Structure formats: C-alpha cells, structure tokens
Structure 1
Amino acid sequence: MSDRYTVISADCHAGADLLDYKPYLEKRYHDDFDLWAATYVNPYEDLLADAADRNWNSERRLAELEADGIVAEVIFPNTIPPFFPSGSLMAPPPTAEDFERRWAGLRAHNRWLADFCAATPGRRAGVFQILLGDVEQAVKEIRRAAAAGLKGGLMLPGTPPGSGLPELYSRTYDPIWAACAELGLPVNHHAGSASPPLGEEPAARAVFMVETTWFSHRALWHLVFGGAFRRHPDLRLVLTEQGSGWIPGVLGMLDYYHGRLVAAATKADTAEAKFGAGLADGMGAPPSRVWRDNCFVGASFMRPHEVPLRDRIGVDKIMWGSDYPHDEGTHPYTREALRFAYPGVPRDELAAMLGGNAARVYGFDLALLDPIAAKVGPTAAELAEPLTKPPADATSPVFARGASVRVW
C-alpha cells in the first residue's frame, strides 16, 4: 500500500470563457448569442483577473491540483453560460421569455463540460445542469448528459420562495428522480442555488451569508418528507459546500417531527392529526435512516470543529472538497488545511473522507488514480503532523478564527 493518500476533491468549479461557449450552442442561437455577448458586462472580478483561466485551462488546472496533492475532481459550474445574467449557480429562475434561451445556454455548458472532462480521462466528474420548469426536457438532458460521459450527476437547481416553481417535495419532479436513480447518477445540491433575492441593501450580503446554507439544506427535508427516496430507493442526494456540523442535529429534529406526526395521524381526535395524515405512507423510513441509505455530504474544506462529529454524520458519507479555484478554497494550501482539520484521525477514516467515498459515489477508478497519487498525494506522515499555525496569506475559512475550537 502506498504511503500517500489518494485525494479527490468533491467540490471544484469550472466553466468556459464567455465566447468559447458559442461553438457548443445550437446554430439557431448564434446570432442571439453575438448580440448578447457584445453588450454583456461580467460582474465577477475573479472571472476578469489573470487567474480566471483556471476555470478552462485544462493543463494549468491539472498542474495546480496535482501540486496541491489532488488527483481528481468533481466539477460544478462557475463561469457564466450563454444568456444568463450571472453564474448559473446563483441566477434567479428564468422568466417565460428567457426560458428557452437559458436552456440552450445550459446545454452548451454541458457539452463544453463533457469535452473538458474527456481531456483528462478518469480524473474529472462533471456535474451537468438543468432547469426545473420543463421536467420532460430535463429528463432528456439527463439522459443525453449521461451518455456524453458526465458522471458527476445532476446539479439540482433551487426552488427559492417566490420562484413560482413547485416545491422540491412535489411529485412533479418524480421523472427526474427516476432517471437519476435508473442511471446511477447522484443528485447534487450546492449551496447558493436556493436563496431568494435579498435586494441591494448594505446588509443583504451579510444576511445571504447567514441564510444561504439553510436554504440549501431544505432540499434534504423536502425530498425526505416528500417520499422521493421511498419511491426511488436507488436515488442518491449529495449536499455540497453547506458545512457538515449541522447534520446530526437536523437529523434528530427531522426524526422528532417524523415520529410525532406519524403518531398524531393515528389519533383522529387531536388537533395535530391533520399534520401527520398520509405522512407515514408517503415517506416511509425515519429521516436518519434515509440519510444512512441515500445521502452524502460534500464537506468542502471541512473545519476542525466538524471533524469530531464524523461518526454521527457517517464517515462513509463525508467527501472532502477543495473548492478550487475559489478564493475561499484551500488552494494552494490543501496540505496545510488537511493537517489543520484532521489531526489524530485514523488513516482508514481519513482515506475514505479524502477520496474513497467520492470514488464510490462518482465512479472514479482508484486503480487509475492510486498510481498518480503515489507520486503527488500527501503522505501519511505529513498529514499526521498537526499544523500549529495557518499560512499568513491563506484565505480559506478552514483557517479562520471561529472555524475551530482552538485558541491562537
């Protein structure tokens, strides 16, 4: 056995440069694209900087990840696809007038992503995108993307309050769950995609930071209480970049309400009976059991105070991520971040969280990756040495004050 860890980042981001999406658009949209691109103003400083090409420069990306000890990655979107006002992850649902063109833009991104992943066979799992406003079209794109080799699965858009979309617990989306379950594709729900618009007041960004993960957590209880996992037992849900320390407490809360409402449904003469009516038949097992059977967490830059909860979360459920190339990610200090977060964790548990679990969920071939990791991965001795002080210029929250119980 190699003395190095095989590290797979379950949370990275990529996308094409704006004009490079055009060849991936259906030709009937090319004129519209030219007009749109000619007047579009990119709102993101990091996509205008010299480092922006980390999103699409395959060779640079591979070299930087290897230098950081990472041999494979799950890729979520980052840049702006055609006809979107901003990055698709956080863009509001389209209007009826924008819907067709937005769909064309996402299909273009998915085609580009398939080529980007094919450039490094076996080392990238691309997460493809859909819109929820047309379920039949979404299922077609799921099947097309899977056939194109995008094994990272589906990125589930949010249904924020005011979106006009059916809630995620609705059976409207059953064809989507069925297709993903049939094809063995995980459904990924990334933080940031489910928050409602908050306006432009000075406090808006602070409120967004406080609330965004909670709005993303909602997908868990919507699908659980909606019975999606009972109707589709092979469905897998991955909650990414939402933290992980919240999971034990939330599962306890959900189990409490499950038990309380199921019990109330058997007592027709109580005021609570109406809240539990049909719940047991609809959803089945308690939420904690559903978590054990069907759910995972993309625990990006897992923080020191979360690590002691790993047994309650499930060591086999946790997938570490670097969040490359974002400023809050661990690059170029991934080794330091791992030493800071995981001192004293047994090697087999750390190996599972750093790569083994992601390989299982996303279908990476460890026989391909292990020899690469034997050259570039962090060593067991290196990660066993606790980090006593973070790098002075590190920007990841994993090193932030308040991210740990330690006192500097």
Structure 2
Amino acid sequence: MTDTDRYTVISADCHAGADLLDYKPYLERAHHDAFDAWAATYVNPYEDLLADTADRNWNSERRVRELEQDGIVAEVVFPNTIPPFFPSAALMAPAPTRAEFEQRWAGLRAHNRWLADFCAAAPGRRAGVFQILLGDVDEAVEEIHRSVAAGLTGGLLLPGTPPGSGLPELYSATYDPIWRTCAELGVPVNHHAGSASPPLGDEPAARAVFMVETTWFSHRALWHLVFGGAFHRHPGLALVLTEQGSGWIPGVLDMLDYYHGRLVSAASEAADTAEAKFGAGLADAMGKGPSDVWRAHCYVGASFMRPHEVPLRDRIGLDKIMWGSDYPHDEGTYPYTREGLRLAYAGLSTAEIAAMVGGNAARVYGFDLDLLAPIAARVGPTVAEVDEPLDEPPADATSPVFAKGGSVRVW
C-alpha cells in the first residue's frame, strides 16, 4: 500500500436498537396490548437513550453519514436500546418469573426482526448480532435459525450465567444444541462485556466494584467453553470476546495452559490424588490445550486498542484482533476514530493495520471487501494519516482511550 491508499475500517463493536415504541410492529400481535401497558409506564434508566443524540441507534442515514465521517465503512451491530418487556439492557436484567420470561422472549424476537430490517437498510455494511435467552435451549436454537435466515450475519449474543442466575454454567453440555447450531450455520458466538456480572446493589462502592469485576466475569466464558470441551465437540464453533480489552489474553492463556497441563498430568498418573480427581476426563473432553483452542477458534473484538496492548498483538494472534469504535457510546472513539487509530497503530506495518482494522472482521463476519472497497477509497483513513503519531489527544474527546492514565503513553 502507498501513503495515499486508504484502509478499509470495519468496526467490530457498534451498538443499535429501535426507539421504544418502534418495536411494536415487530412484536407478535398477541403481545400488543401488554406492550402498550408496559410502554405507558416504562421509565428508561439510561441517560444516553434520552438525549438528543439517541437516534444514532436507529436513524440509519445519520448513522451511515457519521460513521463515514469517522472513516468507518461497515460495522458489527450489537444491541443497545431496551427491548420490549425488559427493565434495562437485556443482558443486565435479572432472571424473571416464567411469565416475564415468555414476554422477554417475545421482546428479543422483536428486536431481532427490527435489526434484520435495520441491517438491510445498508446492504453489506452491517452484521447484526441477534439475541437469545439461555433458559430455553430449544427456543434459542429456533431463534438462531430464524435470525440467520433473516439475514443477520453477526452471530449470536451469548448471555452470561452470573452467580444467582439459576442457569447451568456455560461449560454445561446443556448448551450443546446452541453451539452445534452456530457451528453448522457458520456464525460466531459473541460474548460482550457487562453481560455476566451479578447484581451488586446500590451501595456507594458498587460502581467501582463493577468496573473491577465486570471484565473478569465476562472472561469466564472463555475458560468455561474451553474446559467444557465445546470446541472439541463442535469443531466449527467460533467465539468472539468483545469490549473486554485484549491485553489480558496472553496471561490468561498462560494460566489456563498451566492448569490444563497440571491437571491432565496428575490424572494420567496411577496415584489416587486429589489433583488426579480434578483432572479426570479433562484431556478427552477438551482434545487440545487452551492456547491451541484459542488459536483455532477464538477472536477478540478489541474495540479501541490502547497503545500498551498493541505490542502483545503477536502473542494474542494478529489474525485474532478486530478493532471497534463502540459507536454510538460516549466512551467510543467517534468522532475521533482517526486519532484513535493513530494513537494505537502509528508505526506498524500496513499489513498488520489492515488486518486489525478490517480484514479480520471481514473474515469472521463475512463482509465482502470488494463491495466495501469503493466506499473505503472515498472515506477511509489514509496510510499516511494513520502512520502519523498522535502528540496530543483531542481536547473534547470523551473516549477513555484518550484519557491520561488510559494508556502508558504520557501526553
């Protein structure tokens, strides 16, 4: 690539959803009266969904225009607004009663239908991530088939199983039909940050504790599926861990390899030790060790990478990293994506940058790079632009990637 060539930037972490009342046409008619009653008294708990900029979630033309202004040509679309019958974001809501559970399933189906239409409004430029609940595996499998048939190529959004949820843990074979269906249909399983933390209450320390623990609870999906043997039983399964950072991955893989080797070794010995019992059956269930499973099946939606994470790219796997802007969240890089890319990637080879900002996401989510090339040629950041180090952050930037202390680079 020359200095004037432009990168094809695909955000592997964006969010969207319908305005509250606009979900009604996507609900089964049997739920319309209940929806009217629910919507009449619902109070949205999220300030960003009440602000003047909330329509970024559903205004397709505005969204295309702003993403193009930011140098982005395509996006993986995670949910953001409140689906029908949920008190808060779908993945953060506590386990409901059976009646609420049925209504919430209807609400998620409505969101998935809306999302299919939203993605169709920008052909080839949006990979919608559809939602399920884990409390009914058969219904989840049906919804996976429906969503993929409707054109949602972003794959499944995997809820967490936080302590107190009453759900089987993610390593349970209970969920094998879900893994099998995603593997057979060739769509990834996505696990987004914030989806697995238990409720922490309203004490003053709760927000700080949430920030400390939320990514750890999200990381659990990795070792649950690895040690549970999901990838061994379903060789086509792919897992994407999104908005959880990426710098933690090499250390966690080292830890998982250590425990795997230690327990498998103990189980292979004739001695009847405690560790031998812990490791019994592990080798047969997993097939490969954790690092090998990572290399064969796993990816990271690294969102806006910090400079201190970039030197770890080879240990993480250059072919595993997918950059994301987190649009339209305040913590996202919009409208300073070009500056965020410069901050992280200035000085790297063009091949490495091209892979992380778009090539890997195109491969994982099925974007057509030939279709996107003319758009990138018009709006993408140039090679020379990204290669210029960022000396000062934008004064009004809201993304933590630009904050002092947000990286090892000192302003």
Instruction: Give the TM interval when normalised to the shorter protein.
Output: over 0.9
Q: Does residue 307 of structure 1 match 2:273? A: no
Kindly provide the amino acid, as one letter, of the partner of residue 256 in structure 2. Answer: L
Q: Give the equivalent residue in structure 2 for 1:344.
A: 347
Q: Does residue 151 of structure 1 match 2:164? A: no
Kindly provide the amino acid, as one letter, of the partner of residue 293 in structure 1. Answer: A
Q: Does residue 6 of structure 1 match 2:33? A: no
Instruction: Give 1:91 shift.
Output: 1.8
Does structure 2 retain, via aligned residues, the 8 Å contact 1:77–1:89?
A: no
Q: Give the equivalent residue in structure 2 for 1:22.
A: 24
Kindly provide the amino acid, as one letter, of the partner of residue 388 in structure 1. Answer: D
CA distance in 1, matches of 2:328, 2:91: 15
Does structure 2 retain, via aligned residues, the 8 Å contact 1:304–1:403?
A: no
CA distance in 1, matches of 2:76, 2:87: 25
Q: Give the equivalent residue in structure 2 for 1:232.
A: 234
Q: 3-state DSSP class of the match of 2:197?
A: coil
Kindly provide the amino acid, as one letter, of the partner of residue 396 in structure 2. Answer: D
CA distance in 1, matches of 2:18, 2:378: 29
Q: Does residue 400 of structure 1 match 2:400? A: no
Q: Does residue 270 of structure 1 match 2:252? A: no
Q: Give the equivalent residue in structure 2 for 1:213.
A: 215
Aligned residue among 79, 85, 88 for 2:87? 85
Kindly provide the amino acid, as one letter, of the partner of residue 356 in structure 1. Answer: G
Aligned residue among 230, 247, 257 for 2:249? 247
Aligned residue among 69, 72, 76 for 1:70? 72
CA distance in 2, matches of 1:212, 1:395: 21
Q: 3-state DSSP class of the match of 1:13?
A: strand
CA distance in 2, matches of 1:360, 1:5: 16
CA deviation profile, 1:322-371 (whole Å, cap 9, x unmatched): 00000000000000011111121111000000000000000000000011
Q: Give the equivalent residue in structure 2 for 1:41.
A: 43
Q: Give the equivalent residue in structure 2 for 1:284.
A: 287
Q: Give the equivalent residue in structure 2 for 1:335.
A: 338
Instruction: Give 1:246 shift.
Output: 0.1
Kindly provide the amino acid, as one letter, of the partner of residue 342 in structure 2. Answer: R
CA deviation profile, 1:52-104 (whole Å, cap 9, x unmatched): 00000000000000000000000000000000001113222333231100000
Q: Does residue 357 of structure 1 match 2:360? A: yes
Kindly provide the amino acid, as one letter, of the partner of residue 351 in structure 2. Answer: D
CA distance in 2, matches of 1:351, 1:397: 23
Aligned ranges for residues 315-326 of structure 1 at < 5 Å?
A: 315-326=318-329
- The answer to which of 68-77 and 94-103 deviates more is 94-103
Q: Does residue 391 of structure 1 match 2:391? A: no
In the comparison of the two structures, how many residue pairs are matched? 408
CA distance in 1, matches of 2:55, 2:353: 31
CA distance in 2, matches of 1:103, 1:276: 38
CA distance in 1, matches of 2:27, 2:408: 49
Kindly provide the amino acid, as one letter, of the partner of residue 131 in structure 1. Answer: L
Q: 3-state DSSP class of the match of 2:156?
A: strand
CA deviation profile, 1:102-151 (whole Å, cap 9, x unmatched): 00000000000000000010000000000000000000000000000000
- The answer to which of 233-242 and 265-274 deviates more is 265-274
Could you tell me which runs of 5 or more consecutive residues in structure 2 were left unpaired when the two chains were aligned.
none
Q: Give the equivalent residue in structure 2 for 1:196.
A: 198
Instruction: Give 1:46 shift.
Output: 0.6
Kindly provide the amino acid, as one letter, of the partner of residue 140 in structure 2. Answer: A
Aligned residue among 12, 31, 34 for 1:32? 34
Q: Give the equivalent residue in structure 2 for 1:179.
A: 181
Q: 3-state DSSP class of the match of 1:10?
A: strand
CA distance in 2, matches of 1:282, 1:27: 45
CA distance in 2, matches of 1:71, 1:91: 32
Aligned ranges for residues 250-261 of structure 1 at < 5 Å?
A: 250-261=252-263
Instruction: Give 1:23 shift.
Output: 0.1
CA distance in 2, matches of 1:220, 1:273: 23
Kindly provide the amino acid, as one letter, of the partner of residue 68 in structure 2. Answer: E
CA distance in 2, matches of 1:270, 1:99: 44
CA distance in 2, matches of 1:95, 1:61: 37
- TM-score between both structures, scaled by the size of structure 1: 0.99
Does structure 2 retain, via aligned residues, the 8 Å contact 1:127–1:153?
A: yes
Q: 3-state DSSP class of the match of 2:90?
A: coil
Q: 3-state DSSP class of the match of 2:55?
A: helix
CA distance in 1, matches of 2:63, 2:94: 29
Q: 3-state DSSP class of the match of 1:327?
A: coil
CA distance in 2, matches of 1:378, 1:393: 21
Kindly provide the amino acid, as one letter, of the partner of residue 255 in structure 1. Answer: D
CA distance in 2, matches of 1:260, 1:117: 47
RMSD, aligned α-carbons:
0.8
Could you tell me which runs of 5 or more consecutive residues in structure 1 were left unpaired when the two chains were aligned.
none
Q: 3-state DSSP class of the match of 2:246?
A: coil
CA distance in 1, matches of 2:388, 2:131: 40
Identity of aligned residues (%): 84
CA distance in 2, matches of 1:89, 1:13: 13
CA deviation profile, 1:289-325 (whole Å, cap 9, x unmatched): 0000000000011101000000000010000000000
CA distance in 2, matches of 1:208, 1:373: 38
CA distance in 1, matches of 2:316, 2:406: 18
Query: Segments of 4+ in structure 1 off by > 3 A?
Result: none
Does structure 2 retain, via aligned residues, the 8 Å contact 1:78–1:89?
A: no
